[in-house]
Amino acid sequence: MADLSMSAGRFQHLPPVRHEYLRDVVAGKDIGVIETPLTFPQRLASQSWLRKAMVLLLIAIAWELYARYLNNPLLVPTFTATLEAFAAGIQSGDIPLKALNSMQLLLKGYALGLALAMAFTALAMMSRVGNDLLETLTSAFNPLPAIALLPLALVWFGLGEVSIIFVLVHSVLWAVALNTHSGFRSVSPTLRMVGRNYGLKGPRLVAKILIPAAFPSILTGLKIGWAFAWRTLIAAELVFGVSSGKGGLGWYIFENKNMLDIPAVFAGLFTVILIGLAVENVIFRNIEAVTVRRWGMQS
Amino acid sequence: MNEPPPTSPLLQVQGLTLQYKTEKHLVTATYRVSFDVYAADRFVLLGPSGCGKSTLLKAVGGYMAPTEGSMLLKGRPVRGPGADRVFVFQEFDQLLPWKTVKQNVVFALESSHKLRGRAAEAQALRYIDKVNLAKFADSYPHTLSGGMKQRVAIARALAMEPDVLLMDEPFAALDALTRRRMQDELLELWAEVRFTVLFVTHSIPEAVLVGNRILLLSPHPGQVKGELNSDGSDRTDPASGCKLSERIHDMLFADRIEEQEVLPHG
């Protein structure tokens, strides 16, 4: 204290000395609102699907207005004309059939790509050579657009399903392997030690610790892989859609363009977008809800 | 004091030298460290950072092989990690975030083939109840506070009924009030279960409170400076007239104080 009062002369800016005081706090029930449910509009506004639907609605309105202003259905058909073409396509069974063809092909390529990605990642986790192999291959092939391999695939495998599956595998494999591998590598050493402490090693350690712990990254890989595969497929079908008599959505778009049925072209694009949205918002979102979100690994 | 010591130690560490490689150096973490841990000991490894105490615990856990010396658990040499020595880490992420509190404990019991099914679940619930988390048995770890997560880790370790519990600064990441409560709870648990624990800390008050036997280590590399007894009350040593914590402080930081005294005062 003596020190303080001595230095007070030297330092002009000491805080003022205030009185101490004590108070009783008000009991919770007397305050009124401490926690109350939000109002209905507030709850609506916090639903992200509703906000996103509003965005889509605005885009549709803008599209409709612009198309009417342009008044040239060969360049931009109206939103309503597109919807009509879409409904007609659905009714005739043409769009569902083409979509089914595309999805079948896509799932084959996707599954094969995932299997190969798993094999590569396992190899990379087990040995340093495998690690170097995966890192080199991913850095070399990941930037290579799958569609650029299509001419080569045509020479190797001919005009058929195999060529498309080949490019699909290429588009899925590297994205998934890269993400899974980096996910495994970022699993905390503590968790690995916990696993080994309870007697886990080798494949059991991978299955019980590494895969769930790396699941956020793996899921990201799956999503990116799916998006890559989907766009690669549509592009590949545009180039040579009709394989063994079964065309997909890309072929549907290409065919209708040739017939200058532009609303149907838009309906085809519309279907591609709808399927993309559905997979992202229904399938992947639900996987996230029961896994990484529930585990608190992603907000 | 006059009681004869139990016939043989549970864990014997003899002349243990531990070395590990960093990218550029070969570091000696401990040099010829020896100590004996008896059943129901609360054996504390205490020292400043860089004394190799955590490395020592990892070696006992089987995560690294010694360069020299031996570790015997119940007379058998320690080789690799095993469920007879269960770790409680400092990090909160030692719990599996994809499993609930109960599933975390069951996971440990089943992975190590100790118990399975109903028996594992019953054992898990018994120990979760012991750490007062029965209400949170079905919660996911991310919904728990830091102290609660550490209690789950302790319950998981105790449910394994290991020969020795290895605790690596388990309360260091907690706030001061929670840490104090956890230390008391650990002692209550010990009074109930009588487990053997090897406890690493750099906090002298924690060592004095938690331990019944304290091994002092010097830094760079870790060497044994002595072993002291503690009854948890920080009693005054009749010979020196100093409190236990003061004696430890002087022993551990003697070098540093001398250094400070040499420095010229401004």
Q: Which two tokens stand for residue B221?
A: 């590399």
| Coil/strand/helix, residue A26 | coil
DSSP-assigned letters across all residues of B132-189: T-GGGTTS-GGGS-HHHHHHHHHHHHHHT--SEEEEESTTTTS-HHHHHHHHHHHHHH
* Helix A262-278 / helix A94-126 crossing angle, nearest 10 deg: 40
* Candidate from A199, A212, A213 with C-beta closest to B113: A199
Question: Alpha-carbon distance A161 to A149, whole Å?
Answer: 14
Q: Which residue of A has its CA nearest to B165?
A: A197
What pLDDT, on a 0 to 100 scale, did the predictor assign at position B167?
92
Residues in A whose CB is inside 8 Å of some CB of B read 188, 190-191, 193-200, 204, 208-209, 212-213, 215, 291, 294-297
DSSP structure class, residue A27: P
* DSSP one-letter code for A187: S
Q: What distance lies between CA A175 and its chain's CA centroid?
A: 12
Q: How far is A200 from chain B (nearest CA, A)?
A: 7
- Comparing alpha-carbon positions, the chain A residue that sits nearest to B141 is A295
What pLDDT, on a 0 to 100 scale, did the predictor assign at position B266?
39
Q: What average pLDDT score do residues B127-138 get?
A: 88
Collapsed DSSP state (helix, strand, coil) of residue B18: strand
Rounded CA gap, A151 and B86, in Å? 58
Quote the CA–CA distance of A290 and B239 in Å, as a whole number: 64
Give me the mean pLDDT over the A117-122 stretch. 89
Which of B89, B90, B138, B139 is best to mutate for the A interface (most A CBs within 10 A)? B89
pLDDT at A24: 82
Query: In 3D, which of A103, A99, A89 has the Cα closest to residue A267?
Result: A89
B63–A209 CB contact, under 8 Å: no
| Location of structure tokens 């050493």 | A189
Tokens representing B59? 């070696």
The token pair that represents A174 in the structure block: 């590297």
Contact B197, B70 (CB under 8 A): no
The mean per-residue pLDDT over the stretch A192-196 comes to 91
The burial class, CB within 10 Å (0-12 / 13-18 / 19+), for A17 is exposed
Q: What is the pLDDT of residues A57-69, one digit of tens each?
A: 999 999 999 999 9
Peptide bond just before B221 cis, omega within 30 deg: yes
- Packing angle between helix A94-126 and helix A79-91, nearest 10 degrees? 90
Q: Name residue, tokens 């770890």.
A: B141
User: Residue B134: pLDDT band by 50, 70, 90 thresholds?
Assistant: confident
> Per-residue pLDDT for A239 more than 90?
no
8 Å CB contact of B98 and A291: yes
Q: What is the mean pLDDT of residues B76-85?
A: 87
Distance from A199 to chain B by nearest Cα, in Å?
A: 5
SS (H, E, C) B196-230: CEEEEECCHHHHHHHCCEEEEEECCCEEEEEEEEC
Mean pLDDT of chain A, nearest integer:
85
- If we measure between CA atoms, which residue out of B118, B61, B113 comes closest to residue B85? B61
CA dihedral sign, ordered B131, B132, B138, B143: negative
Terminal Cα-to-Cα distance of chain B (whole angstroms): 49
Contacts of B97 in chain A (CB under 8 A): 213, 295-297
Sole residue written with tokens 């709850």: A43
How far apart CA B155 and CA B129 sit, in angstroms, is 9
Backbone phi and psi for residue B87, each to the nearest 5 degrees, phi listed first: -90, 140
Instruction: Quote the pLDDT of residue B250.
Output: 79
Residue B51 pLDDT > 70, yes or no? yes
Note the pLDDT of residue B238.
Answer: 79
Q: Which of A187, A197, A298 to mutate to test the interface with B (most CBs of B within 10 A)?
A: A197
Distance from the Cα of residue B84 to its chain's centroid:
15
CB contact under 8 A, A194 and B112: no
Lowest mean pLDDT among A267-271, B3-7, B90-94: B3-7
Res. A295 pLDDT band, cuts 50 70 90: confident
pLDDT at A299: 67
CB distance from B162 to chain A under 8 Å?
Answer: no
Nearest beta carbon to residue A295 from set B83, B142, B160: B142
Name the closest residue on chain A to residue B61, using Cα atoms. Answer: A197
Question: Residue B4 above 80 pLDDT?
Answer: no
Shortest Cα–Cα distance, A249 to chain B (Å): 39
Predicted pLDDT of residue A245: 59
Kindly state whether B40 is in contact with chain A, defined as any CB-CB distance less than 8 angstroms.
no
Q: Are A204 and B111 within 8 A, CB to CB?
A: yes
Calculate the CA B216 to chain-centre distance. Answer: 14
- Residue range B49-59: mean pLDDT, rounded: 86
> Which chain B residues contact residue A191 at CB under 8 A?
93-94, 96
Q: Residue A110's pLDDT band (boundaries 50, 70, 90)?
A: very high
Reported as a single tens digit per residue, the pLDDT across A149-184 is: 888 888 898 877 888 899 999 999 998 999 999 999
CB contact under 8 A, A191 and B96: yes
The kind and range of the H/E element at A132 are: helix A128-141
CB contact under 8 A, A296 and B108: no
* B96 shares contact with chain A (CB less than 8 Å): yes
Q: Which residues in chain B are contacts of A212 at CB distance < 8 A?
A: 96, 98
The mean pLDDT value for A74-95 works out to: 89
Q: What is the pTM of this model?
A: 0.78
Q: Which residue has the tokens 């400076």?
A: B225
What is the distance in angstroms between the Cα of B238 and the nearest Cα belonging to chain A?
36
Cβ atoms < 10 Å from Cβ of B254: 12
What size, in residues, is chain B? 266
Q: Residue A212's closest chain B neighbor by CA?
A: B98
The partner residue sitting opposite A294, judged by closest CB among B93, B140, B160, is: B140
Tokens of B147: 């102290």
Q: What angle do CA B243, B247, B251 make, to 5 degrees?
A: 170
What H or E segment, with its residue span, contains residue B16? strand B11-21
Q: How many CA atoms lie within 13 A of B157 on its CB side?
A: 31
Helical packing angle, A161-185 and A150-157, nearest 10°: 120
Mean pLDDT over B99-128 rounds to 89
Q: What is the pLDDT of residues A4-24, one digit of tens each?
A: 555 555 667 888 888 888 888
- Average pLDDT of B146-160? 90
pLDDT in tens, A31-51: 777 777 788 888 888 888 888
Amino acid (one-letter) located at A146 = A
* Nearest neighbour of B112 by CB, restricted to A193, A198, A209: A198
The three-state secondary structure class of B21 is strand
* ipTM of model: 0.84
Residue position matching structure tokens 């590569």: A120
What pLDDT is stored for residue B83 in this prediction? 86
The larger pLDDT score, comparing residue A4 to residue A271, is at: A271
Q: What is the mean pLDDT of chain B?
A: 85
Q: In this model, does residue B6 exceed pLDDT 70? A: no
Is 80 exceeded by the pLDDT of residue B5? no
Q: Are A73 and A133 spatial neighbours (Cβ–Cβ below 8 Å)? A: no
φ, ψ at A47 (rounded to 5°): -85, 115
What is the mean predicted confidence (pLDDT) over B170-195?
87
Closest CA relative to residue B47, chosen from B35, B71, B30, B34 = B30
What order of strands is seen across the sheet that includes strand B76-77? B26-37, B11-21, B68-73, B76-77
